[in-house]
Amino acid sequence: MRIFGYQAIVLFLNVWFVNSFMFRDDCLVTTWTQWSSSGQYTESRTRRIMRVPSGGSSLCPPLSETRETDVDCQVSQWSEWGGNFGFGQQIRTRNVTQNPMGAGNQCPDLVENRYIDTKPTVVETAKNVEQYFIRAFSSNSRKRRQTNQGSVRDLLLIMDSSGSIGQSNFQKANKEIGTLIGLLCPENPFNKENGQYQYNQAAMLTFSSTVEQNFDFNDHATTEDIQGAISKAMYNGGGTNTAEAFMQAIEMFQSSKGARKSSEVKPEVLILTDGQSNNRHETLKAVEELRKVADVYGLMTGGFTKRGKDELTAYVSAPINEHLFYVESYTELEALVRLLSDMKKNEGEKWCAPFNVG
């Protein structure tokens, strides 16, 4: 009986082996076809079954594959060159009409800036300052611009106090900037009500070789107090450490300095300077970080090489034609502010857009 049992087991294993391995047909498929378009931004390939599996063989592999195609970025034609601004500049723009996909070529520059032979007149610059900075509803907040609604701001002033400016011009600049911020909207732009700013707040830094934080956003209760604090800022002389000024500017937009949430107000920076920084690379790196926190406006004065113009243009937020203003001298700065004051007087009640602070 033991021999019969052993023989039966051997016979069973032989039959199982023959059926399972010698007579099993695995799935057999063709090679893949070439990739071909199967949609706007996809392509696919296929293969066919040449032999259906049998005898318990594994299932056939996938018979189709789809992948995204590599799509190059596509852009529109350049716009016409825009109006004169800044140091005597024009820009033109183009838009992305197709975003890149996969390993497609990335998008080229969408803004081109060029210098022309003629700088804007003081009157032209005044109109740009009025349209893009002073008049709150014409600020860079597109939504508010479309609805003619005033923008509530936290405005940080950065004043150059380096040796190239000189004591007299520094005092002139502070006086004119104090007058300039008084032209903001509403009529009393920085007044507190019940201990809280209802509309705008202002803070100030001065910089030379070092940086001084002159006052925080919540230090003064009226527009007149802020103007007085600006006029009392001390002149330091020395170098132009703009990089450190920008780094400390980022720190100023903190609640500990009285800054409000960016969801509630429009954080802004206005820098007045007459020269290139002492550390270009560090400065451009720092201002790139600052622009993530606030819209940066520049009011530049003095004479510059193309390299200097390029650096100062790189300070401001986009679009640069709405953030970069230039006057050749402090006499022109006085004329600019006087023109703006006259424009406000002529506009009367039409000067300010309504505010929604609810």
Per residue in 157-210, pLDDT (tens digit) is 999 999 999 999 999 999 999 999 999 988 888 887 766 667 899 999 999 999
Question: What confidence score (pLDDT) does residue 233 get?
Answer: 96
CATH classification (class only), 120-351? alpha beta
Mean pLDDT of 290-306: 95
Question: What confidence score (pLDDT) does residue 150 get?
Answer: 63
Mean pLDDT of 314-321: 96
Q: Tokens at residue 266, please?
A: 């429009």
Predicted confidence (pLDDT) at residue 247 exceeds the cutoff of 80: yes
| Residue 120 confidence class, pLDDT cut points 50, 70, 90 | very high
The alpha carbons of the chain give a radius of gyration, in whole angstroms, of 34
Higher-confidence residue of 108 and 20: namely 108
Distance CA 351, CA 73 (A): 43
Question: What confidence score (pLDDT) does residue 186 get?
Answer: 85
Encoded amino acid at 191, one letter: N
Per residue in 7-50, pLDDT (tens digit) is 555 555 554 444 544 556 788 999 999 988 877 778 899 999 99
End-to-end Cα distance, the chain: 100
Question: What confidence score (pLDDT) does residue 139 get?
Answer: 39
Q: Which of 248, 266, 238, 51 is nearest to 140 (CA)?
A: 266
Q: Tokens at residue 158, please?
A: 């950065």
Higher-confidence residue of 144 and 224: namely 224
DSSP calls for 158-170: EEE-STTT-HHHH
Residues 231-261 as b or e (16 or more Cβ within 10 Å = b): eebebbeebbbbbbbbbbbbebbeeebbbbe
* Contacts within 8 Å (CB) and 24+ apart, 83-86: 83/124, 83/321, 84/116, 84/118, 84/119, 84/120, 84/124, 85/120, 85/124, 85/125, 85/128, 85/320, 85/321, 85/324, 85/325, 86/120, 86/300, 86/309, 86/313, 86/320, 86/321, 86/324, 86/325, 86/326
Q: Going by C-beta distance under 8 Å and a sequence separation of 6 or more, which residues neighbour residue 168?
A: none
Predicted confidence (pLDDT) at residue 222 exceeds the cutoff of 80: yes
Mean pLDDT of 266-295: 95
Predicted confidence (pLDDT) at residue 318 exceeds the cutoff of 70: yes
Q: Which of 321, 276, 267 is nearest to 296 (CA)?
A: 267
CA angle centred on 302, ends 310 and 138, rounded to 5°:
70
Give percent above pLDDT 90 in the chain. 67
The mean pLDDT of the chain is 87
Residues 312-350 as b or e (16 or more Cβ within 10 Å = b): bbbbbbeebbbbbbbbeebeebbbbbebbeebbeeeeee
> Worst-scoring range by mean pLDDT, 6-10, 232-236, 248-252, 314-318?
6-10
Residue with tokens 């070092």: 210
Q: Is 231 helix (H, G, I), strand (E, B) or coil?
A: helix
Could you give the residue range(s) of every CATH 3.40.50.410 domain in the chain? 120-351
| Cβ-based neighbour number of residue 176 at 10 Å | 21
Distance CA 233, CA 238 (A): 16
Per residue in 325-351, pLDDT (tens digit) is 999 999 999 999 999 999 999 988 888
Residue 26 · residue 54 · CB < 8 Å: no
What are the angstrom distances between the C-alpha of 30 and each of 25, 50, 52, 253, 273?
A: 15, 6, 12, 65, 72
Predicted confidence (pLDDT) at residue 356 exceeds the cutoff of 90: no
The model's pTM is: 0.80
Mean pLDDT of 266-277: 93
Crossing angle (nearest 10°) for helices 223-231 and 167-181: 170
| Cβ-based neighbour number of residue 67 at 10 Å | 12
